[in-house]
């Protein structure tokens, strides 16, 4: 069997007594768009830097195309990085910035000029070739940084939060540019971000990290709808988490919580034993809302507290009689049909198939 393009084999990285990454096992296939997500300090950037050759693992082995890379310097690896700061050379114009990597490889002025022009055209910035990079907008600078990294046509491109400094509308546009380029070129993209929307919009697979370890790996849909740990459930999306004791462990699991009895499907998981403590997740967008009781299986009386309005989507914050908070996400048009005022009584419910039982005991 052919080994994946990138392998992190039991890799750890320590800075003195600080453990940044521990026992990392990760494989990345050629042509894959992989996003690594997590909160600050989770180890995602350290992981990227180790692959780039900017940090050496304390333990374990990193292999690229079957070759051990631990002691290989950054300059000898074909793993360019697009930085959060973009790191363009202010003393060079756009053309010279893009040509730089080709110059370091000894290509002739004519060859590197022709290649750079091709990439400037591809990224729709050919008219900026002679412009001082300090005169460019954020989006233009981003495209120059991409062209400079891609002009050498590497097998892997590393991206460390490259869109974090852009305005929201530019972020969406650049997501489209990145996704299109990756598919057209077939280059492996490894993209570090704290933004769920960026990771889910572009990647084939998402890695969620926490405290230097991988919590979950899967497609964006798998991670969003089927979190494997409480951390992932809290980190991704707008999830509501309930805990209780298993009262019935059949095909439909009945859970006794302080808010009452609730049911969920076990799907393909083993039934937890009766009396065990479990948690389950209901995504905010899968909760139904009514001004009156519906008699649904999983129903709860709540009080409306506040709302967050973001374009066409509204997130309602409600509170149960026992003080537990619930988030509900709906389209604005759905909410406008209800006469909801601060302090209004609401009834929320969800289908038992939408209650996701966390695989681990929490």
Query: How many angstroms separate the Cα of 25 from the Cα of each of 16, 154, 266?
Result: 22, 24, 28
| DSSP H helices in the chain | 44-52, 94-104, 109-122, 138-150, 168-185, 196-202, 220-225, 230-235, 332-336
pTM (two decimals) = 0.87
Going by C-beta distance under 8 Å and a sequence separation of 6 or more, which residues neighbour residue 24?
8, 10, 11, 12, 43, 47, 60, 212, 213, 214
* pLDDT computed for residue 360 by the predictor: 53
Share of the chain above pLDDT 90, in %: 55
| CA–CA dist 193, 39 (Å, integer) | 9
* pLDDT computed for residue 267 by the predictor: 67
Q: What is the CATH number of domain 6-230?
A: 3.40.50.300
- Does domain 238-357 fall under CATH 3.40.640.10? My reply is no
Using one digit for the tens of pLDDT, what is the confidence trace for 1-41?
A: 578 999 999 999 999 999 999 999 999 999 999 999 999 89
Neighbours of 237 (CB within 10 A): 19
Out of 15-24, 159-168, 236-245, 261-270, the most confident range is 15-24
Nearest to 280 by CA among 256, 304, 303, 297: 256
* pLDDT computed for residue 87 by the predictor: 79
Using one digit for the tens of pLDDT, what is the confidence trace for 254-283?
A: 999 989 899 988 766 677 888 899 999 999
Domain locations in the chain as residue ranges: 6-230, 238-357
Please report where in the chains the tokens 């008699």 appear, as a residue. 295
* pLDDT computed for residue 24 by the predictor: 97
Neighbours of 334 (CB within 10 A): 11
**pLDDT band per the 50, 70, 90 thresholds, residue 362:** very low
Across the chain, what does the average pLDDT equal?
A: 89
pLDDT at 316 over 80: yes
């Amino acid at each position: 069997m052919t080994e994946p393009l990138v392998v992190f084999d039991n890799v750890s990285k320590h800075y003195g007594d600080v453990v940044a990454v521990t026992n990392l096992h990760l494989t990345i296939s050629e042509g894959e768009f992989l996003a690594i997500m997590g909160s600050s300090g989770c180890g995602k950037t350290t992981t990227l830097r180790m692959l780039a050759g900017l940090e050496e693992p304390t333990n374990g082995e990193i292999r690229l195309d079957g070759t051990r890379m631990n002691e290989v310097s950054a300059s000898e690896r074909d793993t360019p990085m697009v930085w959060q700061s973009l790191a363009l050379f202010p003393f060079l114009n756009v053309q010279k910035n893009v040509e730089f990597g080709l110059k370091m490889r000894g290509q002739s002025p004519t060859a590197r000029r022709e290649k750079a022009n091709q990439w400037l055209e591809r990224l729709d910035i050919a008219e900026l070739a002679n412009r001082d990079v300090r005169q460019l907008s954020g989006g233009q600078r981003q495209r120059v940084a991409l062209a400079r990294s891609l002009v050498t046509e590497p097998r892997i491109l590393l991206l460390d939060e490259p869109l974090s400094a852009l305005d929201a509308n530019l972020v969406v546009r650049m997501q489209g540019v990145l996704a299109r380029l990756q598919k057209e070129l077939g280059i492996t993209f490894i993209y570090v971000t704290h933004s769920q929307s960026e990771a889910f919009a572009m990647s084939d697979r998402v890695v969620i990290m926490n405290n230097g370890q991988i919590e979950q790996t899967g497609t964006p849909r798998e991670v969003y709808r089927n979190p494997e740990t409480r951390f992932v459930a809290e980190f991704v999306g707008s999830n509501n988490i309930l805990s209780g004791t298993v009262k019935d462990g059949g095909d439909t699991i009945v859970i006794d919580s302080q808010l009452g009895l609730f049911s969920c499907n076990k799907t393909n998981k083993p039934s937890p034993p009766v009396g065990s403590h479990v948690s389950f997740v209901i995504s905010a967008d899968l909760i139904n809302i009514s001004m009156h009781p519906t008699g649904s299986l999983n129903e709860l009386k709540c009080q409306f507290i506040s709302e967050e309005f973001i374009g066409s989507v509204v997130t309602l914050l409600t509170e149960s009689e026992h003080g537990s908070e619930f988030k509900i996400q709906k389209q604005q048009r759905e909410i406008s049909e209800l006469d909801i005022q601060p302090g209004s009584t609401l009834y929320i419910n969800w289908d038992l198939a939408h209650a996701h039982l966390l695989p681990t005991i929490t």
